[in-house]
Amino acid sequence: MQRFEEIPFPKQLFIDGQFVDSAGGETFPVVYPASGEEICRVPLARDEDVDRAVRAARRVVDDGRWARLNPHDRERLLHRIADLIETHAEALAFLETYDTGKPLRETKMVDIPLTIQCFRYYAGWPSKIKGDTIPVRGQFLTYTLREPVGVVGQIVPWNFPLYMAAIKVAPALATGNAVVLKPAEETPLSALYLARLMAEAGVPEGVFNVVTGDGETTGAALVRHPDVDKIAFTGSTSVGQQIMRQAASHIKRVSLELGGKSPHIVFADADLSAAVKGIVSGIFYNQGEVCLAGSRIFVQKPVYEEVLERLRDAARNMKIGDPFAEETTFGSLISEEHRQRVERYVGVGVEEGAEVVEGGRIPPNCPKGYFYEPTILVGGHNRMTVAQEEIFGPVAFVLPFDTVEDVIGLANDTKYGLAAGLWTKNVSLAHNVARALKAGTVWINAYNLLDAAAPFGGYKMSGFGRELGEEALDLYTECKTVWTSLR
């Protein structure tokens, strides 16, 4: 096992190509959630530090060198970043597990490989981003150009720290923007490691900057900075609303990936063992700390009891404990505060009439850290708090349904619209329901799949803008129309 002290990651802000302390010298603690112990401290960036980072980014945007870099050179640079992440994959996986408390097997098999794939995918784009010639009336040659937005502030959450950063950083750099990244206060370490790799890859100074600190201090400073052209945010809907309000004063571009309360539907004809596996990973993967989590599980009445029994078995059989142990499939929640929030929600569920049929406790074998058992609630209806509010933890709410029309109504009866899943062998039913669901992603006989090439994002209060895929290029480019008289 790689010891924390041996992982060669920087513990300073990354501004204008240099690792530096914060101007005021303040720091904050980073905690290993599976033990609750402080493992290091990193700088707290305040307005002055954020301003330095934004000015460095502005400089490199305004002098045009970065935006006009030959697309093939930009591609090589992005591939070099991907190569370096690959070379450092093991250290990054360990670091991510120390920072989040999630199982090492997942950071190794999911977080880091998805990050590499994301940089590789966007490495292919610079030579393919192009405008159009427009058939206008009159004698004109009219064409469009795709230009970078400029200085982009990116704010990401703690659940997949490096991957959430990659989803934003890779397309922003591929399109010639300069970035100031703010990782979550709970998980700043992999972003700093990425900064080190950026420098090693030869990314020009000022193009990529990392400021660490909490949302109210560092994040808010980035959002209100007048020289930031765009904020790309992933996090809770309430913070997304604040960001949108603040961005209004400068008409900053905003893209928002927010919360979810995704429906996961099992029809009676489904392959039940596959469906149960999908549901379990849909709600318990990453301790349920997933924006896409299939937290409302609707099971058609004829198979309800059987599916519930199998779900209970699967929840009981999850291996909770030491995130570094090979067999562990379920790690720690991110913080004590978050664990208490999850506990509170389970309490409210019970008060409103639900029954805890599995979990609902701190696991007895994990007295230290912020663990919480995979939990299943039943009994009640879709208007209950636990069916409407995002818990962002390992809490499944299982409800029976009768007809296709009923379940479509129930599934869409939410303010969110991030994702949905459904299980059936009936092809036309599957596609009809997929169309009827108001969600940015629908999985049929699958769940939780992401690919750098497949766009991803929310309907309704789950946000707007699509990340990943070709769609993300729109988030990071302005379209300029050029008219030329041919007379």
75 part of the interface to Mg ion, by CB under 5 A: no
In the complex, the smallest distance separating the C-beta of residue 151 from ligand NAP, rounded to whole angstroms, is 16
257 part of the interface to ligand NAP, by CB under 6 A: yes
Q: Of these residues, 96, 106, 186, 257, which one is catalytic?
A: 257
99 contact, one of Mg ion, ligand NAP, none, CB 5-8 Å limit per kind: Mg ion
Choose between 99 and 111: whose C-beta lies nearer to Mg ion.
Answer: 99
Choose between 183 and 457: whose C-beta lies nearer to Mg ion.
Answer: 183
Choose between 186 and 358: whose C-beta lies nearer to ligand NAP.
Answer: 186
Q: Specify the pairing of strand 230-234 against strand 253-257.
A: parallel
Quote the CA–CA distance of 193 and 124 in Å, as a whole number.
23
Assess whether 291 carries a catalytic annotation.
Answer: yes
242 part of the interface to ligand NAP, by CB under 6 A: yes
159 part of the interface to ligand NAP, by CB under 6 A: yes
216 part of the interface to ligand NAP, by CB under 6 A: yes
Among 92, 118, 149, 155, binds ligand NAP (CB under 6 A): 155
- Convert 362-380 to b/e letters by CB count within 10 Å (16 or more is b): ebeebeebbbbbbbbbbbb
Among 166, 258, 311, 395, binds ligand NAP (CB under 6 A): 258
In the complex, the smallest distance separating the C-beta of residue 222 from ligand NAP, rounded to whole angstroms, is 7
Choose between 182 and 296: whose C-beta lies nearer to ligand NAP.
Answer: 182
Which residue has the CB atom at the shortest distance from ligand NAP?
215
In the complex, the smallest distance separating the C-beta of residue 390 from ligand NAP, rounded to whole angstroms, is 5
Choose between 369 and 463: whose C-beta lies nearer to ligand NAP.
Answer: 463
Among 35, 236, 412, 445, binds ligand NAP (CB under 6 A): 236
Which residue has the CB atom at the shortest distance from Mg ion?
99
Q: Of these residues, 289, 291, 366, 373, which one is catalytic?
A: 291
Quote the CA–CA distance of 218 and 46 in Å, as a whole number.
6
**What angle separates helix 189-201 from helix 71-87, to the nearest 10 degrees?**
130
Among 49, 75, 96, 99, binds Mg ion (CB under 5 A): 99
Choose between 3 and 137: whose C-beta lies nearer to Mg ion.
Answer: 3
Binding residues for Mg ion, how many (CB under 5 A)? 4
212 contact, one of ligand NAP, Mg ion, none, CB 5-8 Å limit per kind: none
In the complex, the smallest distance separating the C-beta of residue 430 from ligand NAP, rounded to whole angstroms, is 24
186 part of the interface to Mg ion, by CB under 5 A: yes
In the complex, the smallest distance separating the C-beta of residue 187 from Mg ion, rounded to whole angstroms, is 5
214 part of the interface to ligand NAP, by CB under 6 A: yes
| Contacts with Mg ion, residue ranges (CB under 5 A) | 30-31, 99, 186
| Contacts with ligand NAP, residue ranges (CB under 6 A) | 155-159, 182, 184-185, 214-216, 219-220, 223, 234-236, 239, 242-243, 257-260, 291, 390, 392, 418, 458, 463
**Active site residues per annotation:** 257, 291
